[in-house]
Amino acid sequence: MELEELYQSIILEHSRRPRNKGPLEGATHTAVGNNPACGDEIAVQVRLGPTGIVEAAQFTGQGCAISQAAASLFTIKLKGKTQEEACKLIRQFIEMVKGLPEEEDRSGKPSGEMLFGDLAAFAGVRKFPQRVKCATLAPNAFYEIFAGHRSENA
Amino acid sequence: MELEELYQSIILEHSRRPRNKGPLEGATHTAVGNNPACGDEIAVQVRLGPTGIVEAAQFTGQGCAISQAAASLFTIKLKGKTQEEACKLIRQFIEMVKGLPEEEDRSGKPSGEMLFGDLAAFAGVRKFPQRVKCATLAPNAFYEIFAGHRSENA
Amino acid sequence: MHELTPGSPSLRALFPALHQEVNGHPLLYFDNAATTHKPTFVIRAITDFYEKDNSNVHRGLHELSARATASFEAARQRIGSFISAPNPDGVIFTRGATEAINLVASAWANSVLQPGDRILLTAMEHHSNIVPWQLLANRARLSIAFAPLTPEGRLDFDELDQLLAPPTRLFAFTHISNVLGTVNPAEKICALAHSRGIATLVDAAQSCGHFPLDMEALNCDFLVLSGHKMCGPTGIGVLAIHPRRFGQISPWQGGGEMIERVTFEGSTYKSLPHLLEAGTPPIASAIALAVACDFLDSIGRDAIRQHDEKLAMLALDLFSRIEGMEIIGPRNSRAGVVSFTLTDVHPHDVVEVANRFGLALRGGHHCAQPLMRVLAKPSTARASFYLYTTEDEVHRTAEILAQVRKFFN
Amino acid sequence: MHELTPGSPSLRALFPALHQEVNGHPLLYFDNAATTHKPTFVIRAITDFYEKDNSNVHRGLHELSARATASFEAARQRIGSFISAPNPDGVIFTRGATEAINLVASAWANSVLQPGDRILLTAMEHHSNIVPWQLLANRARLSIAFAPLTPEGRLDFDELDQLLAPPTRLFAFTHISNVLGTVNPAEKICALAHSRGIATLVDAAQSCGHFPLDMEALNCDFLVLSGHKMCGPTGIGVLAIHPRRFGQISPWQGGGEMIERVTFEGSTYKSLPHLLEAGTPPIASAIALAVACDFLDSIGRDAIRQHDEKLAMLALDLFSRIEGMEIIGPRNSRAGVVSFTLTDVHPHDVVEVANRFGLALRGGHHCAQPLMRVLAKPSTARASFYLYTTEDEVHRTAEILAQVRKFFN
Ligand SMILES: Cc1ncc(COP(=O)(O)O)c(C=O)c1O
Ligand SMILES: Cc1ncc(COP(=O)(O)O)c(C=O)c1O
């Protein structure tokens, strides 16, 4: 297990300079993610347009490199998505970082959109089970907004 | 450690045919001894004469050979004693079965009156620490009567 | 381990404590209802933990802590599967069966039962399944009733039927009596109670190491195990909670591990199982208990049960030939616990003399004083068997008891 | 064992868990405030018990039970002498420090404190010394206050002086902070509280394995130890009660061992220590904890204390040369616990990267969230030392932290 598997350069980069950090003007929804193990807390906010499209997403709060980078990347990825698309993306992401349900395929290959996007950088998290909570802190909070309830606690 | 050290013939004899067992006519004092470890309970009774001399002592209740024999022998030994003499005898007995306080002398020799009397049969109890409570069940109850309070719990 | 059969020399070889002399005789350990011996695997699991993975759980990201946490949580899963717990989140590690029952009294019954409600126990309960309820009943103004027994020492089902009715809200009963050897039909009882809306607690302290246990089938609300009576270490036990009660559990002990967020003003709590596991748990013992489960399953709990019963029937037969012997409890379909008295010999003296021959019996009230009063005996002697007990040992025990008889004649 | 000095190779040789590689590097175990490793003597004491004396305590007359009971009660005496407890009857075995504090809350404070009374804690307490009091305060309508800290992280004695006054009835405080490394002057504090009729509980979880402890001199009402933090097993701790409180203790958990007489109608109880030890205790762990006491005394607790402090001062010096390093807590006369943060690197990431180099640190709130809020940090990283830690290990740790710094730059 090499450190670079976990701390991919894109993760380090986003954790150093998180995008869309700070309160969101005209936010329509807010949710909070809380990791009791370390006391970290992230608040996420979105502004939904009249047709239900995500117009903007931002976050506030402290956390480790993994949770900050995930929050930062998701604020970018979610923009322009419908709520249904957003939910699907988050579910795929959570499946990826927790490892695929099929025991056979543990190759670590992400699926669908994430195969090619920046979010693929989080594929290494599955080898660090104690960090799954970090990677899913912000995504789970976003999911709560879009699905109207908390997603399965990662 | 041989069984005969604990179960001296006089002890076995008294446990088979306990003396002075049954309620005491005209008893002036009663006390109860209770061994929570085994649930045994012995009630002792005495009749004190006008000058404070023990006129009679009896006991009721079930228990093991050791506790029955001790109760039986004490009902005999206490008769005719002043309360002070009774207390002293009981204290000596308890010291004997618990072992002498002086670490040097563990020869097992009882002292004073008991050196020669039937109570010397209980000297072997000190080698069976779990049975000290049995040997002292009735004596402690008698002590409670004569000293007006419970003796140090053996 | 698959070819190991109960009572076989190869199985006995796995228990170091069995192979010793007491007062110049080979140890005959017949006090298994008090605690069982431990196989090398279980002892080794403790040593391994302290020599390799030793670390605190849940709080750390470093390697040792990750390993300790993974083993500890795997132990919870393993014990859940051992008893077919409907949800491993309801598997709580406690100090033993006693603490598990106290936990239910404090964290469930105390807030769920209302003044006037009745707790039903039986006349054959261990003090650990009586005193917690008496303490609670005093605090919370509840009443307690005791289901009576038949002369043979089984539950009286006619009476029980009457008592499983308002105001009874909880029936807490032992699966196997540690004095009588009676096996209560727990599944049938729980079904009856459940159909009447009465919660059930099954004290499986005496059955957990001897019987197959299936909490799904039992369908009880609370199931209580004692680790040290099932080849596990002392200081570990289990409370299994049925998911239908998860929402009714209040915080119990406060401290690290069980909180979500603590402020000067107040705190919020984690969900089960962590809610009920404040502070550093007995990590090594929990892990070793899971190994005990593996061991027992490798022998087969049905095989253990049959072995126990066979030995009990042999003991009943051999013991009853001794003059003045009175055997207590049912004559058949019973567990490997045989209590008895010898006329004119107090149980303490039976045990003392037996010990001189290397035989470890227990004498006393067996933490069941109310039952003793029903039996009208201050105490009994007791021989209890386990998977390593042999028929030959039962024969030798009967011979020793005959000698005890002679000694006091 | 007399020539063993802290940090020496011969002492380290006694701790099997130290001698392993993690991620290809020799393990650097710096998480001793969470739990310490165990010397061979302690592990062997557990094995010995299960291989030889294994039996239940207090209830049996047979040889094994007599041996187990004698060892268990000797362990109580030994631990009493280790802390100079005024009376060994006040030495109660618990699961750990957390349970010991909960016990005091339930079996003493719950019946002795009155609505409106105040419990005083400090802003540097572990959750285990906060949450039990919050749960009690809610139930019993008590208030809680937190004694504040100076900027350096010590108790503010002017404020403390004000708070040690009505309606405060109990002051429960930690001897050593598990985050700041602050050593509170427990003897002085207890004397002050005592002079004002305020009871004291000293949470010695962090000091029991590191410092000489003398309960007679401390003159506290309750003293709490954590076995696994003093070379002992997990699942064992101690509550020591001052004899002046014996008469104020109510029954706590109910069950076997703690009763005198049980009837269908009610029960009477034994006196201390048995009153508070219902059920089968963690027998092997208690016996092994006494062996840990022997071991620590053979090294000398003064020597351990000096060793800890020397390492802490070395760490303060070396760590503070790292860019962006902020060290938390007092600069001098402190315990071997050093918490710190690195600018722009989250403690989780510090610990993760350190672990890749075999270094076991802890990162998080250390079960002290209220203190974290006072420090205005969501979490810190923490290095904590013990008698087997060497100066060389502290040097290597500083080098690794410098590499962590580099990794995130
Ligand atoms: C029926 C029964 N319940 C409860 C207990 C208490 O178990 P533990 O020793 O684990 O507290 C025992 C054993 O003593 C028992 O036999
Ligand atoms: C100051 C302090 N108090 C209490 C505890 C809890 O101790 P235990 O793990 O024995 O319950 C700890 C350790 O986590 C501690 O550091």
Q: Which two structure tokens, joined as six digits, stand for C68? A: 């300790």
Q: Would you call A9 an interface residue with chain D, using a CB distance cutoff of 8 Å?
A: no
Kindly state if the Cβ of D177 falls inside 6 Å of ligand 2.
no
Whole-number pLDDT of residue C147: 98
Partners of D379 on chain A (C-beta within 8 Å) are 38-40
A87-102 average pLDDT score? 85
> With 60 as the cut, is the pLDDT of residue D2 above it?
no
Whole-number pLDDT of residue A109: 55
Residue in D50, D127, D280 closest to C255 by CB: D127
Q: Which two structure tokens, joined as six digits, stand for C338? A: 């045989």
Q: Which two structure tokens, joined as six digits, stand for D399? A: 């080098």
Task: Name the residue with the closest Cα to ligand 1, atom 14.
Answer: C34
Say which of D190, D220, D293, D367 is annotated catalytic. Answer: D367
Q: Which two structure tokens, joined as six digits, stand for D83? A: 């802390």
Residue C269 is given by DSSP the state E
Cross-chain residue pair C379–B38, CB shorter than 8 Å: yes
Would you say residue B153 lies in a domain? no
> With 80 as the cut, is the pLDDT of residue A38 above it?
no
Alpha-carbon distance of C226 to C237, in angstroms, equals 5
Whole-number pLDDT of residue A106: 46
Cross-chain residue pair B36–D259, CB shorter than 8 Å: yes
Partners of D61 on chain B (C-beta within 8 Å) are 130-131
Interface predicted TM-score (ipTM) of this complex, two decimals: 0.93
Strands D199-203 and D222-226: parallel
- Least Cα distance to D278 among C213, B39, C134 occurs for C134
Kindly state if the Cβ of D122 falls inside 6 Å of ligand 2.
no
- Least Cα distance to C152 among C119, C180, C191, C192 occurs for C180
Name chain B's partners: 3 or more CB pairs within 8 A.
Answer: C, D
Position of tokens 């002679």?
C406
Cross-chain residue pair D267–C95, CB shorter than 8 Å: no
Instruction: Specify the DSSP element, H or E, that contains A153.
Output: none
Cβ neighbors of B15 (< 8 A, separation 6 or more) are: B64, B65, B66, B68, B69, B72
Alpha-carbon distance of C178 to C371, in angstroms, equals 11
Partners of B3 on chain C (C-beta within 8 Å) are 352-353, 356, 407
**Percent of chain C that is helix, strand, coil (3-state, to 5):** 45, 20, 40
- Least Cα distance to C304 among C11, C10, C76, C29 occurs for C11
- Please state, rounded to an integer, the average pLDDT across all residues of chain A: 86
B36-47 average pLDDT score? 87
**In contact, A77 and A53? CB cutoff 8 Å:** no
* Dist. CA A109 → ligand 2 center (Å): 42
Residue of A nearest to D365 (CA): A38
Task: Name the residue with the closest Cα to ligand 1, atom 7.
Answer: C97
A5/D115: higher pLDDT: D115
Kindly state if the Cβ of D378 falls inside 6 Å of ligand 1.
no
- Tens digits of residue pLDDT in D95-116: 999 999 999 999 999 999 999 9
**b/e code C314-342 from CB counts within 10 Å (16+ = b):** bbbebbeebeebebbbbeeebbbbbbbbb
Amino acid at C204: A
- Tens digits of residue pLDDT in B67-84: 999 999 999 999 999 999
Residue of D nearest to B129 (CA): D66
Best of B7, B130, B133 to substitute, by most chain D Cβ atoms within 10 angstroms, is B130
Name chain D's partners: 3 or more CB pairs within 8 A.
Answer: A, B, C
Amino acid at A22: G
Whole-number pLDDT of residue A103: 39
Kindly state if the Cβ of C98 falls inside 6 Å of ligand 1.
yes
Alpha-carbon distance of B74 to B91, in angstroms, equals 12
* Dist. CA D262 → ligand 1 center (Å): 15
- Least Cα distance to C360 among C14, C23, C10 occurs for C23
Would you say residue B154 lies in a domain? no
> With 50 as the cut, is the pLDDT of residue A154 above it?
no
Whole-number pLDDT of residue A100: 62
Q: How far is B83 from chain D (nearest CA, A)?
A: 29
Q: Would you call C378 an interface residue with chain D, using a CB distance cutoff of 8 Å?
A: no
- Least Cα distance to D329 among D124, D35, D158, D161 occurs for D124
Alpha-carbon distance of A65 to C48, in angstroms, equals 35
Q: How confident is the model at residue B48 (pLDDT cuts 50, 70, 90)?
A: very high
C367 an active-site residue? yes
Is CATH 3.90.1150.10 the right assignment for the domain spanning C9-30+301-407? Answer: yes
Pocket of ligand 2, candidates D31, D95, D229: which has the most ligand atoms within 8 Å of its Cβ, to mutate? D229
For chain C, domain boundaries: 9-30+301-407, 43-297
Q: Which two structure tokens, joined as six digits, stand for C165? A: 């009715």
**In contact, C200 and C101? CB cutoff 8 Å:** no
Q: Would you call C102 an interface residue with chain D, using a CB distance cutoff of 8 Å?
A: yes
**In contact, D357 and D402? CB cutoff 8 Å:** no
Alpha-carbon distance of C98 to D348, in angstroms, equals 39
Residue of A nearest to D354 (CA): A3
Strands C199-203 and C168-174: parallel
Is CATH 3.40.640.10 the right assignment for the domain spanning D43-297? Answer: yes
Whole-number pLDDT of residue B148: 74
pTM: 0.95
Domain ranges, residue B122: 3-148
Cross-chain residue pair D344–A16, CB shorter than 8 Å: yes
Number of Cα atoms under 13 Å in the Cβ half of residue C3: 2
Residues C15, C20, C23: CA angle, nearest 5 degrees: 150
Alpha-carbon distance of C167 to C183, in angstroms, equals 26
Cβ neighbors of B56 (< 8 A, separation 6 or more) are: B20, B24, B27, B46, B47, B79
Q: The domain spanning residue A72 has which CATH number?
A: 3.90.1010.10
**Number of independent structural domains in chain B:** 1
Kindly state if the Cβ of D237 falls inside 6 Å of ligand 2.
yes
Best of D22, D25, D131, D348 to substitute, by most chain A Cβ atoms within 10 angstroms, is D348
% of chain A surpassing 90 pLDDT: 67
Exposed/middle/buried for residue C297 (C-beta within 10 Å: 0-12, 13-18, 19+)? middle
Would you say residue B84 lies in a domain? yes
Can you give the pLDDT of all 409 residues of chain C as single tens digits? 457 999 999 999 999 999 999 999 999 999 999 999 999 999 999 999 999 999 999 877 899 999 999 999 999 999 999 999 999 999 999 999 999 999 999 999 999 999 999 999 999 999 999 999 999 999 999 999 999 999 999 999 999 999 999 999 999 999 999 999 999 999 999 999 999 999 999 999 999 999 999 999 999 999 999 999 999 999 999 999 999 999 999 999 999 989 988 999 999 999 999 999 999 999 999 999 999 999 999 999 999 999 999 999 999 999 999 999 999 999 998 999 999 999 999 999 999 999 999 999 999 999 999 999 999 998 999 999 999 999 999 999 999 999 999 999 8
Alpha-carbon distance of C235 to C228, in angstroms, equals 7
- Centre a 10 Å sphere on the Cβ of residue D11 and count the other Cβ atoms it contains: 20
- Tens digits of residue pLDDT in D285-303: 999 999 999 999 999 999 9
DSSP codes, A71-129? HHHHHHHHTT-BHHHHHHHHHHHHHHHH--SSSS--S----GGGGTSGGGGGGGGGG-G
Residue of B nearest to D59 (CA): B37
**In contact, C54 and D35? CB cutoff 8 Å:** yes
> With 90 as the cut, is the pLDDT of residue B129 above it?
no
Task: Report the first-to-last Cα separation within chain D, whole angstroms.
Answer: 47
Alpha-carbon distance of C183 to A6, in angstroms, equals 55
Phi, psi of D300 (to 5 degrees): 105, 120
- Ligand nearest the Cα of residue D58 is 1
- Tens digits of residue pLDDT in D197-253: 999 999 999 999 999 999 999 999 999 999 999 999 999 999 999 999 999 999 999
* Dist. CA C98 → ligand 1 center (Å): 6
Q: Would you call A41 an interface residue with chain D, using a CB distance cutoff of 8 Å?
A: yes
Amino acid at D127: H
Alpha-carbon distance of B66 to B120, in angstroms, equals 13
Position of tokens 């051999």?
C318
Kindly report whether the peptide bond that precedes residue D273 is cis, defined as omega within 30 degrees of 0: yes
